[in-house]
Structure 1
Amino acid sequence: MTMSPFSSDEEDGMMSEINMTPLVDVMLVLLIIFLVTIPAINHAVKIDLPKASSQPADTKPAHVDVAVQADGTILWDDQKVDDAALEARIAQASRLTPQPEIHLRADRKVPYERVADVMSAAQGGGLPKIGFVTEPREKK
């Protein structure tokens, strides 16, 4: 009888079955954790909280139309103003509650520097909300 290193004993073969014991252990631990935590989740302290009733505030801030014409003149709500009057009106409008928004219309031919001056005066005077109003191009 010879002993070969390549014997065909069934004991030395690889096990091809899945070991279910660790999986069952993990499932039992999870089940116990859930059973312990469910009563803690449903436990609530009864408190008599005050009732509050409020209506949503639908106050929209007013807007001011500022237009810069092609020759550089400024219109505040369709009234011609110079630079000093513009700054005075901006300061007056910034004290209102809620602060109005500025709707800025600029002619196509006005230099951008003039528009930037108006924007700078508005922001420096305390009116940071500026919206640009444009007209769509005509279809050719």
Structure 2
Amino acid sequence: MAFGTQDDTDEVMNEINMTPLVDVMLVLLIIFIITVPVMKHSVNIDLPRATNQPQDAKPETVRLSVDADGSYFWNENRIPEQDLPRLLSAEAARNPQPELHIRGDKAVRYERVAQAMAAAQQAGLRKIGFITEPKAN
């Protein structure tokens, strides 16, 4: 037995090896079978229309100050303590709801600031912040 012998004839090979061609076609067929259902699967929905313009309606800020003797100031105007819940409820009902900035004097008792915070929470205000001064170097 002689392996790798060559014919001495220089004949042209007239047959095409079909095995690699069939392998490639089967792989492509499998890829198409998998991807076509994924491409056609969609849900028809009617999307809402919206504008992409930014809204510049910033909520205004309400300043509630508590001075050293425990008095309340609504936007720099002194108010009686019994008017505070009414004013906070009126601001909570507005749309958009304003931000409440509480400024407490460092000499005031914490109790007065806590009462203002509790009144704001009961009125329904959601955005409450504290105003402080930075420490001087």
TM-score by length of 1: 0.67
Gaps of 5+ in 2: 1-26
Structure 1 residue 104 displacement after superposition: 0.6
% identical equivalent positions: 36
Q: Give the 5 Å matches for 1:95-134.
A: 95-134=93-132
CA gap of 1:44–1:78, structure 2 versus 1, over 3 A, is same
CA gap of 1:31–1:71, structure 2 versus 1, over 3 A, is farther
TM-score by length of 2: 0.68
Gaps of 5+ in 1: 1-29
Structure 1 residue 45 displacement after superposition: 5.7
Q: Which residue among 33, 36, 40 is the counterpart of 1:36? A: 33
Tell me what 2:50 maps to.
Answer: 53
Q: Give the 5 Å matches for 1:17-28.
A: none
> Do the aligned partners of 2:64 and 2:100 also contact (CA within 8 Å) in 1?
yes
Tell me what 2:79 maps to.
Answer: 81
How many angstroms apart in 2 are the aligned matches of 1:77 and 1:56? 29
SS of 1:75's partner is strand
SS of 2:107's partner is coil
> Do the aligned partners of 2:71 and 2:81 also contact (CA within 8 Å) in 1?
no
CA gap of 1:47–1:129, structure 2 versus 1, over 3 A, is closer
How many angstroms apart in 1 are the aligned matches of 2:134 and 2:76? 21
Structure 1 residue 138 displacement after superposition: 0.8
How many angstroms apart in 2 are the aligned matches of 1:109 and 1:67? 13
SS of 2:49's partner is coil
